[in-house]
Amino acid sequence: MVDFALLNLLFLTVVLLNPEILNCHRVRTIFLSLNVAYIPVAWLMKSVAVDARSIHLDRVVSAAMKGVCIHIICFTSLLYLQNLTFLGLSVFFTFYLLCLFFFPLTWIICRLLIKHLRRKGYNYVRCVIVGTNSTARTLTENMINDPGYGYRILGYFDNVCLPEFDGNYIGPIDRLEEFVKENAVDEIYFTLSGDKPEVIISVMKTADDNMAKFFYVPRISRYITGTFKLGSIGTSALLSTHPTPLSSFLNRAAKRTFDILFSIMFLAVSPVIFIPVAIAIKLSSPGPVFFKQQRTGYHGKPFMCYKFRTMKVNDSSDSVQATANDPRKTRVGEFLRHTSIDELPQFLNVLRGEMSVVGPRPHMLKHTEDYSKLIDRYMVRHMVKPGITGWAQVTGFRGETKYLWQMQGRVERDMWYIEHWSFLLDLKIIVKTVTNAVRGEKNAF
């Protein structure tokens, strides 16, 4: 209802700015078409409905923008079919410019309001969990991780409960139906293996008889972690690991288009930065202006990565990381590293298609060889092109990886980025990178 109200309010605003439309005898038909064109949007965008409890805001913004694009297609098609083509491009441009701003903003406000109400104890769902195993504990942690999800776990049912289980254990599964009736349970989560058909059938019947939603939570090996995508072969269910939005051709094309345009715009004005930096490097120490090093790229293939030289020429640059008080660094190099200016030549790598503006940072070949043996799923970070900046770098995992946990943290964030990529997330990382560069990075050395 908020969407329909906003849609009409924005279009009315544009109409008032163009009063000749009001004089049209078919203005009611135009408004009717405006609202009919939003019905496909509401249906297609139902996956991010306001009652969805676990939605990331960047996905909400992305979905809102997609919704506006769908409305453009539907609305203009309806007007064309009815021969209502006299509105003019300026009317459409103004209207949809307002939509692209206000729809994402409204969707975010609505969801933040709902989450605020849930944190205050409203709009929650009563749920019970069948099982007290590790799957149930993991599910519980994810449910209560953000109070804004609005889950109220009333208790746990299991025929065998270990003494160390610290949840609100109600009793064996045969007590479930009575409890569901007495407490108006909304959702039942089944976390057991399902090997005993009579148990799962009984729980599903309890859910159906009491109009509660039933969710089956599969027990997955603790060695298989991360994000999954559900698929099937016939009646056999499949879970694929590491689904990535960039497996879509359209998403890859959009990201690559942005990389090319952004790189061209930067390189067009780069002499303003590159020339004085090159002079300073030459005056600081003998050697070349650019530092070239082979690094691991897309699908694990090595490529030549470019940087401004920040160190004296040495034989250990391909094997030893820079440290806080590294004697190899020059005074000019210290400044370039602290402000991230040394990374700017990598826009040449982006333009050549070897890198992206945003992605996991490329590591030297020796690091790839060493850490791939020490860290599980290390090589998965090469499923996308490496970036000039990345999610790990703007969330505290930039610079020297003196301890193994630091590289593990970086890899985990790279994995998260790959699995949650969106265009808006890239923009967020770019903004945070620029902000950090202006402030000065404490880990940039």
Alpha-carbon distance 410 to 376, whole Å?
12
DSSP summary character for residue 226: S
Quick one: CA dihedral 425, 431, 435, 440, positive or negative? positive
Sorted by sequence, the CB contacts under 8 Å of residue 127 that are 6+ apart come out as 143, 151, 152, 153, 154, 185, 186, 187, 188, 189
pLDDT tens digits for the chain (445 residues)? Answer: 888 899 999 988 888 887 777 666 677 888 898 889 988 888 877 655 555 677 667 777 878 888 888 899 998 888 888 887 667 788 888 989 999 999 889 888 888 888 899 999 898 999 999 999 988 998 999 888 888 889 999 999 999 888 888 899 999 999 999 999 999 999 999 999 877 888 999 999 999 999 999 999 887 765 565 566 777 776 677 777 666 788 888 889 989 999 999 999 999 999 999 999 999 999 988 889 999 999 999 989 999 999 999 888 887 776 677 766 677 888 888 888 888 899 999 999 999 999 999 999 999 998 899 898 888 778 888 989 999 999 999 988 877 677 888 888 899 899 889 988 888 899 999 999 988 888 766 655 5
Half-sphere exposure of 343 (CA within 13 A, CB side): 24
What per-residue confidence (pLDDT) applies to 442?
60
Q: Taking a C-beta distance cutoff of 8 angstroms, is the pair 85, 78 a contact?
A: no
What per-residue confidence (pLDDT) applies to 51?
53
Alpha-carbon distance 384 to 251, whole Å?
12
Quick one: CA dihedral 245, 248, 254, 255, positive or negative? positive
What per-residue confidence (pLDDT) applies to 152?
94
What per-residue confidence (pLDDT) applies to 195?
77
What per-residue confidence (pLDDT) applies to 337?
85
Sorted by sequence, the CB contacts under 8 Å of residue 395 that are 6+ apart come out as 413
What per-residue confidence (pLDDT) applies to 16?
84
Angle between helices 89-119 and 2-17 (to 10 degrees): 150
